[in-house]
Amino acid sequence: MADVYTVLFVLLGMLLSLPALLVGINLLFPNVTKRVHTRLKETPGKSFGLGLPLTAVILFWTLSTIEANAGIIKASGFIMAGFGMALGTIGAAGMARLLGERITPIAKETSAITNFLRGAVVYELSCLFPLVGWFVFAPFVGITVLGAAVFSILRWRPKVAVSEQISVVGNL
C-alpha cells in the first residue's frame, strides 16, 4: 500500500509543479516565451511543420543511441532527450501564455500572472484527458510547441502581413 501512496504523491507533486515551472520559465525568459507565443498565435502550421521533422530526429536519435554499449553514444542519447525536453518546456510556456491571453476576456478581472497560471493548468489538464488528450492533443500540440520554440530561439519571427504593413505606413 505504501508503494501506491508513493506513486500517487509523486504524480500529484508533478501535476502541481508543472504550472509553476511554466510560470518560472515565463518570468525568467519573457522575451523567448513572447516569441513562442507570437509564433503559436500567428503561424501554428509553420511551427508544426518545423516541429514534425525535429521531433522525428530527436526521437530517432534518442531511441537509437540509448541502448548502445559505448558510454559516449549512450550519453549523446540522453543529452538529445534532455535537449528535446528543454525545447518542449520552453514551447509549453509559450502555449500557456497564449492560453492565458485567450482566457483573459472570459475570466474575472485578474492579473496577467493569474491568467497565465490558468492557461498552464488548462494546457496540463487537457493533455491528461484520457485517450484524446494522450494520443491526439498532447502529440499534436507537443510537436507544434517544439517547432515554435526552435523558431523563437533562432529569432525567426513571422512575416508581417501586407495589410498590417499598409496600416503601419498609413499611420506614419
pLDDT of residue 156: 79
pLDDT score of 155 more than 70: yes
Across the range 147-169, mean pLDDT stands at 73
Banded pLDDT at 110 (limits 50, 70, 90) = confident
Tell me the per-residue pLDDT of 12-41, one tens digit each, with 9 for 90 and over: 999 899 999 999 999 999 999 999 999 999
Tell me the per-residue pLDDT of 68-101, one tens digit each, with 9 for 90 and over: 888 888 999 999 999 999 999 999 999 999 999 9
Long-range contacts of 111-120 (CB under 8 A, 24+ apart): 113/23, 116/22, 116/23, 116/26, 117/19, 117/23, 119/95, 120/18, 120/19, 120/22, 120/23, 120/92, 120/96
Q: Within 13 Å, how many C-alpha atoms sit on residue 29's CB side?
A: 19
Q: Within 13 Å, how many C-alpha atoms sit on residue 74's CB side?
A: 5
User: pTM of the entire structure?
Assistant: 0.85
Q: 3-class SS at 159?
A: coil
Percentage of the chain lying above the pLDDT 70 cut: 92
Q: How far apart are CA 141 and CA 146, in angstroms?
A: 8
Tell me the per-residue pLDDT of 141-154, one tens digit each, with 9 for 90 and over: 999 999 999 999 99
pLDDT score of 124 more than 60: yes
pLDDT score of 163 more than 80: no
pLDDT score of 161 more than 70: no
Tell which residue, 74, 47, 48, has the closest CA to residue 61: 74
Q: How far apart are CA 159 and CA 134, in angstroms?
A: 33
Q: How far apart are CA 85 and CA 146, in angstroms?
A: 9
pLDDT score of 63 more than 70: yes
